[in-house]
Structure 1
Amino acid sequence: MRYSYVLWDFNGTIVDDVDTCIEIINILLQQQGKEIVSKEQYRNVFMFPVIEYYKRVGVIKRDEEFVEMAHRWMDLYYEREATLTTFHDIHSTLEKIKKLGIKQGVLSASRIDQLQRMVDQFGVGMYMDDILGISDIYATSKVHIGLEFIEKSGYDKASIVMIGDTIHDFEVAKQMGIACILVSRGHQSIEVLASCGVSIVSSAEDVVSLLV
């Protein structure tokens, strides 16, 4: 077995929320009288930390505007949370990986209580050995959470692979010293992800063959 632990990103990798996030950012842009973005544009400008994405897309200009905008964004997300679903192949993929005897966890830049609630809401908690989130809603970085996990878990870094949909997931994996596989149907386009130089797949089910 190539890997014994799969660490999943959540939003855009497990949960199909890209269109919802585009809808929300366009509401915020329209409220300021600004031009909305297409899906293609969104997937080419989205980035972490989120404050830099907000500046890039144009909903804030100064750092001090970020906290208020983050709360407005989150309120709109909560209003739509009940409409979200996982990608169609997620449950079957998680089940296949579990049957292979590979442990799994979620590592997200979402606040831990919100992450736990959504993991339960989408019925993926039964597959997860660890749920790892941050302490606030500002989606700065999940690197420190990942590093703490590595330190406390005792897992061999070579046995862990990160599955994500953004350059940030690759950067987190790199700083953790673990492998990374990127899925191209999430928050960043395949053209953006290609700069990472790691394996890119089009769906979660394509990940399984790369694990064994």
Structure 2
Amino acid sequence: MPKNHEPLHLVWDWNGTVLNDFEIILRSTNDSFTDHGLPAITAEQYRTLIKMPIRAFYADILGHEPGDEEWEGLDATFHKYYVAYEREARLSDGLPDLFREWSGRGHSQSLLSMYHDDKLVPVVQHHGIAHYFELVQGTLPPRPSRKGLHLQDHLTRLRVDPARVVLIGDSPDDAAAAASVGARVILYSGGFAAAQSLRAVGVPIADSLTAAVALIDEVMAAEG
């Protein structure tokens, strides 16, 4: 534990962090694009362009801001394919051992995602890991476009002091969310975003989840 021996709370991101689903995300995106007469994108294009909100990411790919009807169609088709494929994905390397070890050190943890709550909870249960978390929370309508307000609501529900919180995620939006509530963040480079995008944020980066968890005490000591 940190020097003051207070328990920490670890918030895990889902897609691209806990769930190793990049290939499924890319396949679902391209299947959706095919249905809408759009060209496929490469893994490199996806990792380089990915941003939040997702609608802005699509605007960069399409070369124009999608109208409501176009956006809703693309989003619905993507989710149709993603739901069909998602249980092919596996947990990222090091899991669930890292969950068990973290709890064994006397700390708490939860899972927060921008994925729809009614779809997130069943797939977390499918992987047999729900019992490790104090709260598994996806989004409900009206869904937030950025993660900051979602994280704030998450910590309020948990009654956790943000100063004792570390978020492990895989995107610049995760870093922005943590900063907006006064929490720490460690970014995992094995997820969706290109490493150069993560480095530009200026926060600690780890190339594995094992390395990310190992950085937590150092991050808290440096910023505490």
TM-score scaled to structure 2, two decimals?
0.87
Displacement after TM superposition at 1:36 (Å) = 2.2
Once the two structures are TM-superposed, the CA of residue 34 in structure 1 deviates from its matched residue by: 3.8
More deviation in 61-70 or 135-144? 135-144
Q: 2:170 aligns to what?
A: 165
- The correspondence for 2:132, drawn from 110, 117, 127, is 127
State whether structure 2 residue 109 is matched by structure 1 residue 104: yes
- When residues 32 and 60 of structure 1 are mapped into structure 2, their CA distance, relative to the original with a 3 A threshold, is farther
Aligned length: 212
| Contact map agreement 1:29 1:58 (CA 8 A) in 2 | no
- The residue aligned with 1:72 is 77
> In structure 2, what is the equivalent of residue 196 of structure 1?
201
Distance 1:4 1:28, change over 3 A: same
Amino acid at match of 2:131: M
Q: Match for 1:27: what amino acid? A: D
Q: Is residue 2:166 matched to residue 1:177? A: no
**Aligned equivalents of 2:77 and 2:144: distance in 1?**
14
Query: In the alignment, is the contact (CA less than 8 A) between 2:28 and 2:79 conserved in 1?
Result: no
- Whole-angstrom CA distance in 2 between matches of 1:138 and 1:22: 22
Query: Normalised by the size of structure 1, how large is the TM-score?
Result: 0.92
1:46 and 1:22 map into 2 onto residues whose CA distance is 11
One-letter code of the match for 2:86? E
- Give distance in 1, aligned partners of 2:35 and 2:111: 34
Match of 1:22 among 9, 21, 26: 26
- Equivalences for 1:140-151 in 2 at 5 Å? 140-151=145-156
| Aligned pairs for 1:6-21 within 5 A | 6-21=10-25
Letter in 2 for 1:25: T
Deviation, structure 1 residue 8:
0.6
SS in 2 for 1:163: strand
Note if contact 2:51-2:173 (Cα within 8 Å) is conserved in structure 1.
Answer: yes
CA 1:111–1:29 in 2, change beyond 3 Å: closer, same or farther?
Answer: closer
The 8 Å contact of residues 107 and 131 in structure 1, kept in 2 or not, is answered as yes
Query: Partners of 2:160 and 2:84 in 1: how far apart?
Result: 38
Percent of aligned pairs sharing the same letter: 23
Q: Where do 5+ consecutive residues of structure 2 fail to align?
A: 218-224
Q: 1:106–1:98: structure 2 CA closer, same or farther, 3 Å change rule?
A: same
The answer to whether the Cα contact below 8 Å between 1:110 and 1:136 also exists between their aligned partners in 2 is no
Corresponding position: 1:154 with 2:142:
no
Once the 2 structures are TM-superposed, how far is the Cα of residue 145 of structure 1 from its aligned partner? 2.4
CA contact (8 A) 2:48 2:197 kept: yes
1:50 and 1:138 in contact (8 A); partners too: no
